[in-house]
Structure 1
Amino acid sequence: MGYRPALAVLDILRGEGVDRVFGNPGTTELPFLAALADTSDAPEYVFGVHEGSVVAMADGYARGTGRPAFVSLHIAAGLANGLIGLLNARRSRTPLVVTAGQQDRRHLQQDPMLSGDLIGIATPAVKAAYDVQHAHDLPLALRRAFALAVRPPAGPVFLSVPTDLLTEDTEVEVPSRTPVPPAAPAAGLEHAASLLGAAARPAIVAGDGVGRENALAALVRAAEACGAVVHHQPMADCLDFPTTHPLYAGMLPPRHDAVRAALAGYDTVLIVGAHAFTPHAYTPGPPLPPGLQVVQLDSDPHEIGRNFPAATGLVGALAPSLDRLSELLRDHVPAHTAKSRTLRAGERHAAERDRVESAARAAYSPAPLAPWAAAHAVARGLPPDAVVVEEAITVGLLLRRLVRLDRPGSYTHTVGGGLGWGIGAAVGRALAEPGRPVVAVLGDGSTLFGLQGLWSAARQNTPVLFVVMSNGAYRTVQETYRAMGGQGVCPGTELGELDFTQAARFFGVDAVRAESADQLRELVAGAGKLTGPLLIDVPLRS
């Protein structure tokens, strides 16, 4: 069936399940906007006043819905503004399909205002970039982009579309969507089960592939089948294992020397869906201790042996692979052995959690709050079924040690490192899962980078609780500076005292300043009753 080019785009979006377009418009997108306005069943246009928050909203929405989100940016400058979000999405492997309108081809050689090398700008930040030059190529390129965005490793795919191409007086054919069969379990699971079954001190590193592929329950079954303790990968973007489980041993630190020390007590480790150990600061040496036997499972074949050697590498869909592995492990590990390991691990982990809990609770006070107390108040105040969107950097590390979460999708972070993601991502998550409370825990520096996202929160009336941990500094930079032997105050890291309640109200968001840790916990506990956005400014001790 033939369509005019702009209508062909809408037909493909409907077929791909796109119900929202995240965008910041300009003149080169007008043909597409006109098609949206003239089509009764077109996707809703979610407007953002800065491309950074637009891409972040799409990122959060894609994670919440489990399908690619669609983004419309404006020409070279708009694409450049969105690059931070695209870099985050690529690192976090969030599937996005992103378009930007290019200037009219009939005067492109005259270097018109706002034109630029869109493909050159986008390529380092995306999986693939297509320069569409013919109307008949647009439907195929767009269909291909959606397929590529979800194929392991998932990520953003970009298309440059000249504005005049969408207005051509021609009809184009729209290719049908090709159903993709369910991914199969990995081959070689019997050998993996024998290696893990023979281990005296097995462990598991749960990578973000587990959360992305909804394999959390399957990983729990595999861990319980052999009694292996489970660590989250460093700076995990997802909840990849329940933090309430007795086998949960916490997150590995983001330094190779610390990872090496944490894994030194094990003889065999199953590494599932982990791209790497994501070091933050360089330390010499490999991440794995000598003699550690590695079993690696990933849905992306390029990951096997990429960052560390493995005794055996398995490629397949994580959930069915882990389910099959758990069945095989029961033939290798006696049930009483697995149960005994689980009980011993649970006792150790419970004692450590109690120690941390007591220290954090003892730090409660009126504002300004100790970071431990602020993190504890948020963790204990979270309503059931809440989604935590975290971009708090230093306080976030404390929060990870305190949250008690077990539902998939309950914790969202970006390892991409581009600040300003958290506000927009929280708005996107709230749009994707309107029945779940969303609590965004943000650093003050991160909030400043993404402040425009509050405009969309107000206009969409998303019931998000924004918790801004305000310590008046780039604290993680200061701490690293001191660890390197720096003296005095690190230049360029002091933000000073800021009143985020005023910033929130400027954008139309209600706001309050936390006066104590107990009040903060109560405010967080009320997140499930919100009917619109609310920001809490949390003053922290330096």
Structure 2
Amino acid sequence: MGCRPAPALLDILRGEGVDRVFGNPGTTELPFLAALVADERAPEYVLGVHEGAVVSMADGYARATGRPAFVSLHIAAGLANGLLGLLNARRSRTPLVVMAGQQDRRHLQQDPMLSGDLVALAAPAVKATYDIQHARDLPLALRRAFALALRPPAGPVFLSVPMDLLAEDTEVEVPARTPAPPGSAAAGLDRAAVLLAAAARPVIVAGDGVGRDGAMSALVRTAEACGAPVFHQPMADWLDFPTTHPLYAGTLPPRHEAIRAALAPHDAVLITGAHAFTPHHYSPGPALPPGVRVLQLDSDPDEIGRNFPADHGLVGALGPSLGRLADLLRERVPAHTAKARILRAGERHTADRDRAEAAARAAYSPAPLAPLAAAHAVARGLPPGAAVVEEAITVGLPLRRLVRLDRPGSYTHTVGGGLGWGIGAAVGRSLAEPGRPVVAVLGDGCALFGLQGLWSAARCGAPVLFVVMGNGAYRTLQDTYEAMGGTGPCPGTELGRLDFTRAAEFFGVDAVRAESAEHLRELVAGAAELTRPLLVDVPLR
């Protein structure tokens, strides 16, 4: 049975599990807004006052729910404002379905105000685009968009929908939803188990596909079955392996020579769910040391051998593949061998962590704080089960070394590099997981890019603790400038001391300034008791 285009759109959204629409509306979205008003079962509309915050909220929401989030943007200008978030989502492989209203087709050829080539504008930032010109095509394209957003590699999909099309008095057919088939284990796991079991010093690199696909427990079983230490991929977006585990070896630095040095002691490496190695700064030579045997497992066939040769490539769902690999390894690696490796790795990693812990505690002081002390105060203050949303480039590095987390989804970041993601992403995560403490750790430069997200936090009553680390500069840029041999002040990198408590007050968010490292730890520990958002301004040295 058919229905008009706008009700058909809402019917599909319900069927795809969409319970919130993240948007900032304009005239071209009015037919969509009218449909939301007319349908008492319509999704809730979550307003953002800038499209950067809108897309970031949807990103955080999609990561927490595991479903594609739906975004409504306004024509060319709104889409342009949201492109930064779409680039982040594509790089982080966050599933989004994004609809922008196009101008009325009846005068589109006259180049009316706000019109533009939406598809060409969106194309570089998304997986696929749909330019809807006929009402009958909208339901089918929308079904395809939701399926494609989740299919490996996941990411945002865009639809351009003219405003008059949604208001047409015509019936369209709504195709039934086809559930995605369950992922299956990769072929070739027997050989992978033989190769790993034969290694004297195996190691694993856990990519963000592990966290995205909920495969962390399966990876733990695989690592324990052969006693292999596990590194996070460089600049990891997710918690892909418990940082409390004795086999956890930390995060690989995003430079080839540093990755080479970290992996050099090993004779075989399993790289699973990692999009390349995401190098940030160039260094000559390959990421992998010579002579190491490489096994690569990914749900995306394009990743196998993409940036480095693999001796054995496997394509399949990560959870089932790693679970089966763990069983095969237990048959081939003697239990006493695996346990001995775990003990040795645990002793080495515990000593490293104890040194980092001692150095951080020694740096405690009244404000302004040393970055290491600030990171430690956050890490030790986190309430049980907290979700950390991190966009603090300088403080984020020591924070990753110091956090002790083992719950899936408890640490997220964006490797996309578009600043301003953190505030909105934390709000989206809080909306998706009510009752779970959410702590957003933000650099002051990053916070400035996404400040409008505080408006949504206040209006939604999202009980997020926003921790803004204020060093008054684009510090990571200054550090890189110095490392490259730059002399004198690096131009364009000084922000000066900023008072984020006043910014929070403007948006209706409570705020406090951390007076010491101990005070910061106490404030973070109280995140579980929040009933509304709170911003903590942390002055850094």
Q: Which TM bucket (shorter chain)?
A: over 0.9
- CA–CA distance in structure 2, aligned partners of residues 239 and 81 of structure 1: 29
**Are 1:81 and 2:88 counterparts?**
no
Shift of 1:49: 0.1
Report if aligned partners of 2:381, 2:521 keep a CA contact under 8 Å in 1. Answer: yes
2:189 maps to 189
Q: Give the aligned residue type for 2:442.
A: L
- CA–CA distance in structure 2, aligned partners of residues 170 and 75 of structure 1: 24
Show CA shifts across 1:500-527 (max 9, x none).
0000000000000000000000000000
Q: Tell me the number of residue pairs that the alignment of Structure 1 and Structure 2 aligns.
A: 541
**Are 1:116 and 2:103 counterparts?**
no
**Are 1:525 and 2:525 counterparts?**
yes
- CA–CA distance in structure 1, aligned partners of residues 421 and 485 of structure 2: 31
2:346 maps to 346
- CA–CA distance in structure 2, aligned partners of residues 391 and 497 of structure 1: 19
- CA–CA distance in structure 1, aligned partners of residues 341 and 478 of structure 2: 41
1:396 maps to 396
1:480 maps to 480
- CA–CA distance in structure 2, aligned partners of residues 352 and 281 of structure 1: 25
2:271 maps to 271
- CA–CA distance in structure 2, aligned partners of residues 181 and 155 of structure 1: 18
Q: Give the aligned residue type for 1:434.
A: P
Shift of 1:307: 1.0
1:175 maps to 175
What secondary structure is seen at the aligned counterpart in 1 of 2:434?
Answer: coil
Between the aligned residues of both structures, percent identity stands at 82
Report if aligned partners of 2:57, 2:427 keep a CA contact under 8 Å in 1. Answer: yes
**Are 1:441 and 2:441 counterparts?**
yes
Shift of 1:330: 1.0
Q: Give the aligned residue type for 1:390.
A: E
**Are 1:98 and 2:98 counterparts?**
yes
- CA–CA distance in structure 1, aligned partners of residues 331 and 198 of structure 2: 11
- CA–CA distance in structure 1, aligned partners of residues 377 and 39 of structure 2: 47
2:45 maps to 45
**Are 1:369 and 2:341 counterparts?**
no
Show CA shifts across 1:197-239 (max 9, x none).
0000000000000000000000000000000000000000000
Q: TM (normalized to structure 2)?
A: 1.00
What secondary structure is seen at the aligned counterpart in 1 of 2:29?
Answer: helix
Shift of 1:3: 1.1
- CA–CA distance in structure 2, aligned partners of residues 497 and 250 of structure 1: 32
Report if aligned partners of 2:147, 2:180 keep a CA contact under 8 Å in 1. Answer: no
What secondary structure is seen at the aligned counterpart in 1 of 2:331?
Answer: coil
Shift of 1:179: 1.6
- CA–CA distance in structure 2, aligned partners of residues 481 and 350 of structure 1: 34
Shift of 1:180: 1.9
1:212 maps to 212
What does residue range 57-456 of structure 1 map to in structure 2 within 5 Å?
57-456=57-456
1:24 maps to 24
What secondary structure is seen at the aligned counterpart in 2 of 1:388?
Answer: strand
1:36 maps to 36
> RMSD between aligned alpha carbons?
0.4
Shift of 1:420: 0.1
**Are 1:491 and 2:491 counterparts?**
yes
- CA–CA distance in structure 1, aligned partners of residues 342 and 264 of structure 2: 19
Q: Give the aligned residue type for 1:381.
A: G
- CA–CA distance in structure 2, aligned partners of residues 13 and 392 of structure 1: 34
What secondary structure is seen at the aligned counterpart in 2 of 1:214?
Answer: coil
What secondary structure is seen at the aligned counterpart in 2 of 1:3?
Answer: coil
Shift of 1:488: 1.4
Show CA shifts across 1:444-500 (max 9, x none).
000000000000000000000000000000000000000011111100000001000
Q: Give the aligned residue type for 1:5.
A: P
Structure 2 runs not aligned, ≥5 long: none
Shift of 1:302: 0.6
1:471 maps to 471
Shift of 1:174: 0.3
Q: TM (normalized to structure 1)?
A: 1.00
2:506 maps to 506
Shift of 1:26: 0.2
2:462 maps to 462
Q: Give the aligned residue type for 2:391.
A: E
Shift of 1:435: 1.8
- CA–CA distance in structure 2, aligned partners of residues 273 and 27 of structure 1: 42
Shift of 1:185: 0.3
